[in-house]
Amino acid sequence: MFTFSCPISFSITCSSSNGNIQNHGDYRVNINVNGSSCTGRPIKHHTLLNEVGVKEGSTSLSAIQFLENGHISEEKIRQRIPRQKLLVDPYRQGLITERGVGYRQTVVVRSYEVGPDKTATLESLLNLFQETALNHVWMSGLLSNGFGATHGMMRNNLIWVVSRMHVQVDHYPIWGEVIEIDTWVGASGKNGMRRDWVIRSQATGSTYARATSTWVMMNEQTRRLSKIPDEVRDEISPWFIQKQAINEAVPDKIVKLDDKAKHVNSDLKPKRSDLDMNQHVNNVKYVRWMLETIPDKFLERHQLSSIILEYRRECGSSEVVQSLCQPDEDESFANGVQQNLLTNKVLVGGNGRLGSLDINVLTYGYTHLLQTQNEEIVRGRTRWNRKICTGL
């Protein structure tokens, strides 16, 4: 007698006898493994079997998905990854839009996603972008068991890596607010994919933030960039939309900082909790390292309005990272206004709005660089507006 993991998440006792897969009504299933008949306890929701390939009345072992060791995958039933396109996902408050190829998800801003001023942090927004992108692939029916990887990608040992990200924020959602996040994908050159997002208030319809990103494929084993195989292109190209959240006719170029940068943090070490499912440091962690290098007094008085990230290479768990940051104190950015960080009057905000003034809005910039001892990891460019008094 033995017990093994099965997709319907209960223990199975096997006795020696011959038989085929049978579906006895709605509450019991018999499974034949290597000539042994395995009888499970009653199943209340036998329809879950259909999601992993077992159809009612099946009589063939090929109808069940097995792992390489011959066991049925428990993950398939716990995750409930669809094998065909879904139009609505009630569990994630998501639905397919844009004539069947876009995705919209409704989200409530939770307490652990906001900062001291009760507004969502930039890291929270980036995490929501990542989550909605994965859920989009989930509902497409293309998701395999990788981190957003399709079935064709898994067969070719390929994973997605982000090469560029541009986020613009007009208003930050507040704690408890209901927001809608739209996302879609499109082609980016011959071997890249673009993914865009728009965040808006469900209550007012106002657009809060926009983002666009570029993704390329990497071989998971060699860690080298790869061309998109034809079978993968055939999977993803029907989902492409010719639409951009941010119009980047001429993308801004980010200069490389040197050791003369004004602010430097040289002792950053990734933790195990910083790694994602692809075993490299998650891109959201990079943003945290960048922002932590900016002086606290500046962060207290200003709110980030945009960030551009150019990713150069992945960062492993054993590397020591240096964060460099240089303010653009003498540059003119908005409406020809000369910036001077030392003479700004402190204005206090707190409801998530950057605010608007009848006079020119002053904008400040920082250039960032994350690097190891010998190589660049990511270049960054942030722009900031002064927090506007809201009467609180």
Catalytic residues, by residue number, are: 278, 280, 315
Alpha-carbon distance of 287 to 169, in angstroms, equals 15
Enter the tokens of residue 147.
């981190």
Alpha-carbon distance of 344 to 120, in angstroms, equals 25
Alpha-carbon distance of 200 to 66, in angstroms, equals 42
Helices (H) and strands (E) in the chain, counts: 7, 17
Enter the tokens of residue 292.
């932590």
Instruction: Please return the burial class of 76, using the count of CB atoms within 10 Å of its CB with bins 0-12, 13-18 and 19+.
Output: buried
Residues with Cβ within 8 Å of 304's Cβ and at least 6 positions away in sequence, in order, are 122, 169, 291, 382, 383, 384
Enter the tokens of residue 202.
């469900």
Count Cα atoms within 13 angstroms, Cβ side, for 134. Answer: 17
Q: How many CB atoms lie within 10 A of CB 192?
A: 16
Q: What sign does the CA torsion over 274, 278, 280, 284 have?
A: negative
Enter the tokens of residue 118.
């009760």
Question: Considering only CA atoms, which of 60, 61, 46, 215 is closest in space to residue 130?
Answer: 215
Alpha-carbon distance of 180 to 108, in angstroms, equals 9
Q: What sign does the CA torsion over 166, 289, 200, 241 have?
A: positive
Alpha-carbon distance of 104 to 356, in angstroms, equals 29
Question: Considering only CA atoms, which of 347, 275, 340 is closest in space to residue 314?
Answer: 275
